């Protein structure tokens, strides 16, 4: 999937108020393509959409990256912003993923997809 398509998929996931199994499966099929070194079982668990499962994929796929989560915990009216960046000591990272939306796990997935979309093709994280 091309970077533009990854970003569009991330936007769809951000807009979802709940977990959407089909969207998450599509997202993690792409994570598997872009991070082939990640264990397949870990990818399948990530597609379940839990925060812990997505964090584990970020940990293995983007080791050492900083994860920031800010928001309001509300079952019906959550408002989350999640960012993934190489470092929290600089504010000029070349690659950054930011997800926003009502569901925390969805914002993590969206941030991961956006980070992958902004990565130069030949670059390793």
Burial (Cβ within 10 Å: 0-12, 13-18, ≥19) of residue 93: middle
Structure confidence at residue 124 (pLDDT): 53
Question: What pLDDT, on a 0 to 100 scale, did the predictor assign at position 48?
Answer: 78
Q: What is the mean pLDDT of residues 26-33?
A: 91
Q: State the average pLDDT for the chain.
A: 87
Predicted TM-score (pTM) above 0.85? yes
Residue 30 makes CB contacts below 8 A (sequence gap 6+) with 1, 6, 9, 113, 116
The per-residue pLDDT for 113 is 95
pLDDT score at 17: 85
Which tens digit of pLDDT belongs to each residue from 44-80?
A: 877 777 899 899 999 999 998 999 999 988 877 889 9
List the one residue out of 119, 116, 102, 93 whose CA is nearest residue 32: 116
The confidence score (pLDDT) of residue 24 equals 87
Domain ranges of the chain: 3-118
DSSP conformation letters of the chain: --HHHHHHHHHHHHH-SS--HHHHHHHHHHHHHH-TTS-HHHHHHHTTT-HHHHHHHHHHHSTT-EEEEEEE--TTT-EEEEEEES-SS-S--SSEEEEEES-HHHHHHHHHHHHHHHS-TT---
């Amino acid at each position: 999937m091309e970077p533009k398509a990854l970003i569009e998929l991330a936007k769809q996931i951000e807009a979802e108020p709940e977990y959407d199994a089909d969207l998450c499966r599509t997202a993690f099929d792409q994570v598997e393509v872009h991070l082939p070194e990640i264990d397949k079982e870990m990818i399948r668990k990530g597609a379940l959409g839990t925060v812990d499962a997505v964090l584990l994929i970020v940990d293995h796929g983007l080791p050492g990256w900083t994860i920031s989560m800010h928001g309001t915990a509300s079952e019906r009216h959550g408002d989350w912003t999640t960012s993934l960046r190489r470092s929290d000591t600089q504010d000029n990272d070349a690659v950054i993923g930011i997800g926003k939306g009502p569901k925390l796990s969805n914002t993590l997935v969206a941030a991961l997809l956006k980070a992958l979309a902004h990565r130069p093709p030949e670059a390793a994280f």
